[in-house]
Amino acid sequence: MNRMEDAKKKYDEVPIPEELSERIQWEVQKADSRRRKAAEDSGRKRKRHLYGWQKGLAAAAAAMAVFVTALNTSTVFAQSMGELPVIGAIAKVLTFRSYEMETEDDLHISVDIPSIEMIAEGTGNLAESVNEEILKMCEQYADEAVERAKEYRQAFLDTGGTEEEWAAHNIQIKVWYEVKAHTDRYLSVAVMGSENWTSAYSETRYYNFDLEKGRQVTLEDLLGSGWADIADASILSQISEKEAESGMDYWEEDFTGVTEDTKFYINEAGNPVIVFGEYEIAPGAAGQPEFEITG
């Protein structure tokens, strides 16, 4: 054995301290982190890649863990989580999970799930309970939409359609959200689900928060006593205006008045905007009619 081989043998036999091993792993992780950041800065498209957790979601940790387990055991490839700026230094909205996938049945699925984080004290478990509800809605809607699309596909093939013709349908299932208002006083978020082959199962839920009082907002909170009469009168007045502008007849006889269950969001002016479903008080061409109530 020459001197070089002898030196190498002694080098290989030197034990590596445990702390050094940990330091090496830490440096490797730092290097990986730098590479990921460089990839993000360069604008490289990130699809079908699983990303880590976003910090600051402790309030919804239990519900999130359930959903992430479902993601990690499926064929879904999750995309990066995003974050909107802090809203009034009191609350913020995070994109908890965002992913896209294609199934073997030629279904295209896109999901963006929000999580609301309350920073102020005194809000109790408000954010946690809302986030659990949002997660349940998004997960359930996506699952049921996939089942509906599969049933539609089978019926299509059973009645003579071909695989090629089915693929041309380009079935899209989408779950997403929009921040309707982010003022110092209010936070309003809409969570939606839709399927491009049918509007019968589309779903929208609105979450409206008074950030000063740390609670969800009702129409009565916004319009005061007599809120139902105020909203009804405003809606009927606006229906006449909409008919005159569009030449479309609204179904006033189907409008029975607002209730505590009437859907609404808050706009940037702090006013409630009441939303009716498609075909609820007007023809389908009217979409989902909206009425801003100014009080």
User: CATH number of the domain that 267 lies in?
Assistant: 3.90.640.20
Range of the domain at 78: 45-217
Concatenated DSSP letters for 52-116?
A: -PPSS-GGGHHHHHHHHHHHHTSS-EEE---BPPPBTTTEEEEEEEEEEEE-TTSEEEEEEEEEE
Sheet with strand 215-216: strands edge to edge: 77-79, 91-102, 107-118, 171-182, 186-195, 198-210, 215-216
Reading the chain (295 residues) residue by residue, the pLDDT tens digits are: 544 455 445 434 544 444 444 444 444 454 455 545 554 554 443 333 333 333 333 333 333 333 333 333 333 433 433 444 444 447 889 999 999 999 998 999 999 999 998 876 656 688 899 999 999 999 999 999 999 999 999 999 999 999 999 999 999 999 999 999 999 899 999 999 999 998 889 999 999 999 888 889 999 999 999 999 999 999 999 999 999 998 999 999 999 999 999 999 999 999 999 999 999 999 988 999 999 999 6
Residues 178 and 61 in one domain: yes
Q: What is the pLDDT of residue 125?
A: 82
Decide if 140 is inside a domain. yes
The answer to whether residue 264 is domain-embedded is: yes
The confidence score (pLDDT) of residue 55 equals 35
Q: Is the same domain home to 69 and 97? A: yes
For the domain that residue 135 is a member of, what is the CATH number?
3.30.565.40
Work out how many domains the chain is built from and give that number: 2
The pTM score is 0.69
Quick one: 85 and 229 in the same domain?
A: no
One domain for residues 156 and 265: no
**Residue 119: helix, strand or coil by DSSP?**
coil
Tell me, what's the pLDDT at 36? 54
In this prediction, residue 151 carries a pLDDT of 95
Are both 51 and 126 inside the same structural domain? yes
Say how many C-beta atoms besides its own lie within 10 A of residue 82's C-beta: 13
